[in-house]
Chain A
């Protein structure tokens, strides 16, 4: 398929709508809603661009089931200690990379600013989402989401997912 052949306005908007809702759930602190954006046997990884480009498999967060995402949320709420903070996602225009039986391949540049309770903010993470999105009727979900971050060095800790 040529890149122009992948221009399908409805598909484009559909994917961007999914991504906007995804980012909103995290920015608004509705972490319990977050796993539902994924299929049951999903893959979700946050991996540095350095590891990704060198073919090194290590990820900062490495989940291969929706249940693992639920465990993350539970730990965020009940186990892990971190200072009050929130995120603001800025998503750039999604590029549809392909479409086939395995789903829609989409790539979306992102920036996440982290805002602490004292008002200080930091460009905490920037990179791209490499997504494989599948649909079952009206439900569109991530079967795979790789968060490939460019800024290698993570400040303090990463508690809330990207």
Chain B
């Protein structure tokens, strides 16, 4: 008999039209969701775990997720970074319950099984029983067990992890062109300004597509367009990795030429009369010296690096069931920032996050798709702006990086 589990899922569901068609079923199907956890999140991909500066001292630890799987990240006594699944090898309980802390030993509260900072099992309560009775069998070996480890790699101060032994090295996975764009922003010691946590009522892929979708930015976000922070008519483009999964889009604010397409279309976003009572919000500096005022970068499946003017953040996209997503923002400055620069970044943080002038809509549009497609599992989205491939392009009037996402997704889901 044919084993349905061996049938590539993407071949079962994908319509004609390649990556230029996306079946709505992928946002609502519980089986696909479970397969994604296995083939993508625990497959040969890398995931942002934290920043290296969040764990400065030996014994520092924090908890996070890779996909829906809980993970612990530690700084060992030898100062190396370690990551492993937050699941006791005994009964499967969470080992670390706190968001972050410092410890010499990680103890499961359930039966007091103890692990070192590298996740190795060190002791089992009552291993020898009590008064010669009970206890573990004589051949039970503590050193044969450990919390399931992740490979860990650090890049530009960011800590990534993968469960997969087959994943290529992190640098290879991201690719040289995208790494260069990452290093452009994260080019000196970082400082954490704070975090936002946002809960989105939509499948995780809808948010990732939204981030990759350069077509919508100047259309949905009136604020963006009204202040010429980002219009499709600005000079810019997108770089898509050969795998399709990673991208960087960029634009230069002060390069907007006459844009008859905007004016003729009488787009809602093209208003000319919008001014701020307090323009200090947009008092930005060209701190990277290349005139690029917006750069958005993703690494498959769920990492985002954002530079909007002087507002810099990394985002972690975490699935929470088929129809929900948690979005964790870590907003950054640099260790060398003076008080005025820090204030500038905090003020510009009004542009981003759950209440951001140019990002709040992104918290809602995924939900609009999730709600609208409930009865349309057999229908598909049209993704043809800028052609049908996923090559780099010198325009942002394109959905090339969205198609690239589906290329990467289908490669992993199709085996």
Give A contacts to B, CB under 8 Å.
46-48, 50-51, 54, 56-65, 67-68, 70-71, 74-75, 78-83, 152-159
Contacts and interface: CB of A to CB of B under 8 A. Distances in A.
A154 B198 contact: yes
Nearest to B366: A156
A71 B278 contact: yes
Given A70-B277, A79-B274, A158-B354, A58 B363 contact: no
Contact of B278 (A57, A67, A154): A67
A156 B199 contact: yes
Contact of B349 (A58, A64, A74, A83): A58
B281 to A, nearest CB: 7
28 contacts: A47-B194, A48-B195, A48-B197, A50-B195, A51-B195, A54-B194, A57-B346, A58-B331, A59-B349, A62-B346, A65-B278, A68-B278, A70-B277, A71-B276, A71-B277, A71-B281, A75-B357, A80-B357, A80-B361, A82-B364, A83-B364, A153-B197, A154-B197, A156-B199, A156-B200, A156-B201, A156-B367, A157-B355
Interface stretch (B81-89, B176-184, B218-226): B218-226
A75 B196 contact: no
B355 A155 contact: no
Contacts, number: 115
Contact of B364 (A58, A68, A70, A156): A156
Contacts of B309: none
A61 B355 contact: yes
Q: Which of A46, A61, A74, A83 has the most CB of B within 10 A?
A: A61
B46 to A, nearest CB: 25
Nearest to A151: B197
A33 to B, nearest CB: 16
Interface of B: 192-201, 220, 222-223, 226, 271, 274, 276-278, 280-281, 326, 331, 342, 346-347, 349-350, 353-355, 357, 360-361, 363-364, 367
Contacts of A65: 278, 280
B222 A156 contact: no
Nearest to A47: B194
Nearest to A61: B355
A57 B360 contact: no
B350 A62 contact: yes
Contacts of A75: 223, 357
B395 to A, nearest CB: 24
A74 to B, nearest CB: 8
Contacts of A157: 198, 354-355, 360-361, 363-364
